[in-house]
Structure 1
Amino acid sequence: MKLYTLIRLVSLSILIVGCQSNKKESGIKKKEISKPNIIFILADDLGYGDVGFNGQQKIKTPVLDQMAEEGIVFTRHYAGSTVCGPSRASLMTGMHTGHATVRGNPRWTKSGNPVDISSSDITVAEELKRANYNTAIIGKWGLAENLTEGIPNLQGFDYFYGFNQHLNAHHYYPEKIWKNDKQITIEGNVMMDKKGTYSQNLFTNNALEFLDNQSSDQPFFLYLAYTIPHYELTIPEVEKKQYQDQDWPLREMKMGHYRNDKNGHVTYASMVSRMDKDVGLVMKKLKELGVDDNTLVIFTSDNGHEYDNTDNEFFNSNGVFRGRKRDLYEGGIRMPFVARWPNKIKAGSKTDYVSAFWDFLPTACDIAGIVPSSQIDGKSFLPTLINSTAQQKHDYLYWEFNESRGPIQAIIQGDWKLIYFVGRDYELYNLKEDPEEAKNIYSQNLEKGDALKALMLKARTPHPEFPLERKMK
């Protein structure tokens, strides 16, 4: 798989892997042409409650709300982790954090050295290459801190434009950015002064250009990984007009590593609405190109919000849920999720099917008509998308997290959720009866707690860089 990708970088004449090279018959070619296109749009630190279709009242997200009216909303879709690195690794590899190569953000390793996605990991892009898809990642990759085997062009992507590493992705006026395996200069950008071209413009324009360049005889997979609304909080002044006259209190933001604009509430809302508008440009382009009916578009977020103050909520970014980014409570891992696919997904649908990031790889494979080439944790949610009764359910979902108050483990089985602050306390919740996770009922349900504890022990394999031991930083 990796060798194939390396060869592709050297010679653009190699279009399909060996097992497909003899498929000359017109019937096969027709079948390949009819394969659906897939666009996966990922927000960065957007909360469950930050979108209109999940109840947001202050921030306007008309495009995403329209997607919900024309598609399906998952009310119990979970991120791969509560921070971006391991969440994105889970999305790409179909593995939860008990089995994944990347289980934490770069500096939260035992050695202090970052762990990247490896050459042995098989990504969704590599899988789709087997089905002759043209593949692109635009935006934040964040899985190649070492700039070695983790870079996107060695992980199945034909085209990459964006950030390999986390730190550079913190800023919206980058002076340099990666285009495939080369770092290019963004002329006129001054990161510290927030001058030049806004990165959101760069990503959206690249995405539209990628779509314009697709041929009619090859399906495509576009992973559009926006950095909005991750700190830093900044946006061009012209984008703030719809919120500047709101009678909102000032939440004053300070300058430092993050070159924040002063008015936090107005800036945050404007950033989310700007992203919504850009999703609309992508949808418009699909219609212009005549491929709208044959394209599945998914929108979600990588983990819970960081901006809203849970002690004094303004936007209610986590909805009714407890917690935020870096928590394994629902507010940290339950994500907004909407999918649109005309004539395949029933308009205005909603499901409480329990799914997670590691389900995307098998779903993409299912859509492409292939079987995942390695053992994974995910299950295809294609049956739920198309309202089929063939949907398989998870026995459980599992997370582990080393940062902050960690290590923390969490496991969900049906409506039951067990959280373990390693070496300290267990918390048990029934999410159907108590979605806010307000009442710890562990001591009243020891038998259920013990069953979930036993399952939690089986859910992971050891990782030398991510041991479940307290680490102070």
Structure 2
Amino acid sequence: MLVGISTFAFFLCVAKTVVGSPNFIIFFADDVGYGDFQSFGHPTQEKGPIDVMGDEGMRFTSWYSGDSICTPSRASLLTGRLPIRIGVVGPNRVFWQWDQGGLPKSEITIAEALQQQGYATGMVGKWHLGINEKVANDGGHLPMHHGFEYVGTNYPYGQNWKCDPKKFSTAEMSEKCFKYKNSTFVQQPTDMINSTFEMVEDAKDFIMRNKNQPFFLYMPFLQAHCTLFCSPGFCGSSRRGIYGDNINEMSWAVGEVLDTVKRHSIQENTLAIFISDNGPQLEMCVDGGSSGFLKDLVIGGKGSTWEGGIRMPAFAWWPGTIPAGEVNHEVVSTVDIYATLLELAGGNADEDDVTRDSKSISGVLRNESPSPHEFLFHYCSDRLMAVRYGEYKISYVTQMRTTDFTDFCYEGVPDDDRITNLRCYDDTVVSHDPPLIFNTDEDPAEEHPLNPARHGLMLSHVNEAVRRHKATIVPTRSVLGLKNAALQPCCNYPACVCNYEHPYESQQKSEL
């Protein structure tokens, strides 16, 4: 049982449909970095529909994730809270496939909040917020228990380097590579080749079924988390190699979904946002994405609170409402999606709830107002690492690598224990007193720390904000790391192998 979690206060007693409420689509990439798109400066990545979202809408240069790694960043998106507030913290930092924990059901997700506003809610793609709760295959933590009435093709654990038949046996792949349709097993181990196509077809189906009422579609992609894969129509499509193929395939999927919105003539009533969960897996080198001009390759990617780990490529699209071709420099966060969508849907939240970190950025999207944030707080697990304040980044704690660069640049199978600098408390973590100060507008690579003696008043202001912020944190039991081997997902027990026929397979082969 979780303690100390404030519940969300609704001012509506019954569900209602607000005439004119916009539709919402959230595209959520996996481990895609700030420099992975042509429109964010990559020199060889092909331009695709994701870039076109920026041409037709808005591109954000200072959008921050709720965390620097998969599970907590997803929890922050869906709940509008920092992960420390809901127990999504701990040495493991992510849910494993056999964990008995999951996203706390005491939390009202944005899907549940929008249901109260009369929205149809759907999800396809990667979940990574818990699977089974009490017995194997009960699916007690899957999306349908968190407000998603439609759940198409979904990957409760996402994908893993072991999901590669060229390198692993069926038995090895089965442990972490499996696919569901709603709460039902579809495949174990997973054949990734059809995954993007299946997700797109499910997304189209959901939009078609709900085009005449407000809907919320959450579409977290598998790309571009290792292991990398590509469907037949995208293999070899990029000058950049297999990683570029992945970006092209994901971008195609975004285009297909937005084209569906246009075909049903609902684009002027649809807000779509594309973001990534955290920074790129830099240890994989050319197979691990790019943080662009943010913190250098050695220490600045996924798992860290350097800019490359938490600053995301972001696009917002809403024809007729969001100005086309705008580049927005306001400091905003993934946690803001919660309050923004709820406000646009006509809902009301308890504005006095200091444990809800989300703030509406509806005015920012319209290019009408500045960011509602004076401060953004960046954590590694339950440890406050840094604060963003205006153009400044104040880092109290940073993560460093102690291994030679060449030792962690992988071309084969990575070592899970060395794959990233995910640690929050070991000897690779350095405290700074006084803290490091960077002007991240002028120095986004965080290469030139400022002299703290010249910024005493600013530091006092930030330190007081940190004190006030920490006073709102209520100790909460962790829901991570609760391993129970009996909860390992297994279809066709005890074989843990199934490969049910999927209706899209033959169709994809003929269309791609």
Under a length normalisation based on structure 1, what TM-score does the superposition of the two structures give?
Answer: 0.78
2:13 aligned residue (15, 19, 24): 19
CA contact (8 A) 1:172 1:200 kept: no
Query: Structure 1 373/143 Cα, relative in aligned 2: closer, same or farther at 3 Å?
Result: farther
Corresponding residue of 2:389? 413
Aligned partner of 2:465: which letter? L
Are the aligned partners of 1:39 and 1:297 in contact in 2 as well (CA < 8 Å)?
yes
2:81 is matched with which residue: 87, 95, 105? 95
**Structure 1 pair 386/58, CA: closer, same or farther in 2 (3 Å)?**
same
Give the superposition deviation at 1:452.
2.8
Which residue, out of 314, 317, 326, partners 2:290?
317
Q: Which amino acid aligns with 1:456?
A: V
Match of 1:455 among 459, 465, 475: 465
Could you tell me how far apart the structure 2 residues matched to 1:105 and 1:198 are?
Answer: 34
For structure 1, the 5+ residue unaligned runs are 1-16, 24-28, 247-264, 468-473
Q: Is the 8 A contact 1:427 1:440 kept in 2?
A: yes
Q: Partner of 2:378: helix, strand, or coil?
A: strand
The answer on whether the counterparts of 2:280 and 2:290 sit within 8 Å (CA) in structure 1 is yes
The answer on whether the counterparts of 1:63 and 1:279 sit within 8 Å (CA) in structure 2 is yes
AA at the equivalent of 1:185 = V
SS in 1 for 2:393: strand
Q: Secondary structure at the match of 1:76?
A: strand
Structure 2: gaps (5+ residues): 1-10, 134-138, 166-173, 398-424, 480-512
Instruction: Select which of 387, 409, 431 maps to 1:424.
Output: 431
Note the C-alpha offset of 1:345: 0.9
Instruction: Summarize the alignment of residues 285-434 of structure 1 with structure 2, pairs less than 5 Å apart.
Output: 285-307=260-282, 317-322=290-295, 323-372=300-349, 375=353, 376-389=356-369, 391=370, 393-402=372-381, 407=383, 409-421=385-397, 424-425=431-432, 426-434=435-443
Q: For residues 39-60 of structure 1, what are the alpha-carbon distances to aligned partners after superposition, in whole Å with 9 as ceiling and x for unaligned?
A: 0101100001101211112111
Q: Aligned partners of 2:383 and 2:13: how far apart in 1?
A: 44
- Is the CA contact 2:155–2:180 (under 8 Å) kept in the aligned structure 1? yes
SS at match of 2:219: strand
Change (3 A) 1:105 1:287: farther
After superposition, the Cα gap between the structure-2 partners of 1:274 and 1:453, relative to the gap in structure 1 and judged at 3 Å, is: same
Q: CA deviation at 1:339?
A: 0.8
1:278 is paired with a residue whose SS is helix
Identity rate of aligned residues, in percent? 29
Contact 1:83-1:105 at 8 Å conserved across structures? no
Evaluate the alpha carbon distance shift between residue 167 and residue 49 of structure 1 in structure 2; reply closer, same or farther with a 3 A threshold.
closer
Q: After superposition, what is the alpha-carbon deviation per residue over 1:358-405, rounded to whole angstroms, capped at 9, x for unaligned?
A: 10001001110111257311111111112324x552121012114xxx
Cα distance in 1 for partners of 2:77, 2:207 equals: 22
Question: Could you say what the CA RMSD is over the residues aligned between the two structures, in angstroms?
Answer: 3.1
Give the paired residue count.
408
Which residue of structure 1 lines up, in the alignment, with residue 499 of structure 2?
Answer: none
Using the alignment, how far apart are the partners of 1:138 and 1:61 within structure 2? Answer: 25
Aligned partners of 2:331 and 2:64: how far apart in 1? 8
Structure 1 letter corresponding to 2:292:
G
When residues 280 and 183 of structure 1 are mapped into structure 2, their CA distance, relative to the original with a 3 A threshold, is: same
Secondary structure at the counterpart of residue 343 of structure 1:
coil
Which residue in 2 is equivalent to 1:73?
A: 59
Letter in 1 for 2:221: Y
**1:35 Cα deviation (Å)?**
1.2
- Equivalent pair of 2:76/2:335 in contact (CA under 8 Å): yes
Once the two structures are TM-superposed, the CA of residue 178 in structure 1 deviates from its matched residue by: 2.5
Post-superposition CA distance 1:6-51 (Å, at most 9, x none)? xxxxxxxxxxx98346x7xxxxx6xx34211110101100001101
Question: Which residue does 2:194 correspond to in 1?
Answer: 198
Q: Distance in 2 between matches of 1:137 and 1:441?
A: 44
Aligned-partner residue type, residue 55 of structure 2: E
Q: What letter matches 2:385 in structure 1?
A: Q
| Offset at residue 454 of structure 1 (A) | 3.9
Question: Are positions 1:214 and 2:210 aligned together?
Answer: yes
Letter of the 1:283 counterpart = L
Partners of 2:307 and 2:93 in 1: CA distance: 24
How much has 1:190 moved relative to structure 2? 5.2
- State the distance in 1 between where 2:186 and 2:318 align: 37
Q: Tell me if structure 1 keeps the 8 A contact 2:72–2:93.
A: no
Q: 1:441 pairs with 418, 436, 450, which one?
A: 450
Deviates more, 1:320-329 or 1:91-100: 91-100
Q: Describe the SS at the equivalent of 1:380.
A: coil
In the other structure, the counterpart of 1:270 is 245
| Aligned residue number for residue 413 of structure 2 | none
Task: Compute the displacement of 1:157 (Å).
Answer: 1.1
SS in 2 for 1:282: helix
Q: Distance in 1 between matches of 2:324 and 2:476?
A: 46
Q: Which residue of structure 2 lines up, in the alignment, with residue 154 of structure 1?
A: 145
Per the TM alignment, residue 314 of structure 1 is displaced from its structure 2 partner at its CA by 9.5
What does residue 226 of structure 2 align with?
Answer: 231
What amino acid is the match of 2:325? G
Given that 2:436 and 2:450 are in contact with CA atoms closer than 8 Å, whether structure 1 keeps it comes out as: yes
Q: Could you say what secondary structure the match of 1:364 adopts?
A: helix
Residue 208 of structure 1: how far off its partner (Å): 1.3
- Could you tell me which of 156, 165, 170 is aligned with 1:164? 156
Aligned to 1:10: none
Structure 1 residues 307, 363: CA separation in 2 closer, same or farther (over 3 Å shift)? same
CA contact (8 A) 2:193 2:230 kept: no
In structure 2, relative to structure 1, the CA distance for the partners of 1:451 and 1:69 (3 Å cut) is same
Tell me how far apart the structure 2 counterparts of residues 104 and 212 of structure 1 sit (CA, whole Å). Answer: 41
State yes or no: 1:42 paired with 2:18. no
Instruction: Give secondary structure in 2 for the equivalent of 1:331.
Output: helix
Q: Select 2:122's aligned residue among 126, 136, 142.
A: 136
Counterparts of 1:18 and 1:411, CA distance in 2: 35
Structure 1: which amino acid aligns with 2:13? C
Task: State the AA in 2 paired with 1:177.
Answer: K
Give SS of 1:369's match.
Answer: coil
C-alpha separation in 2, matches of 1:409 and 1:240: 40
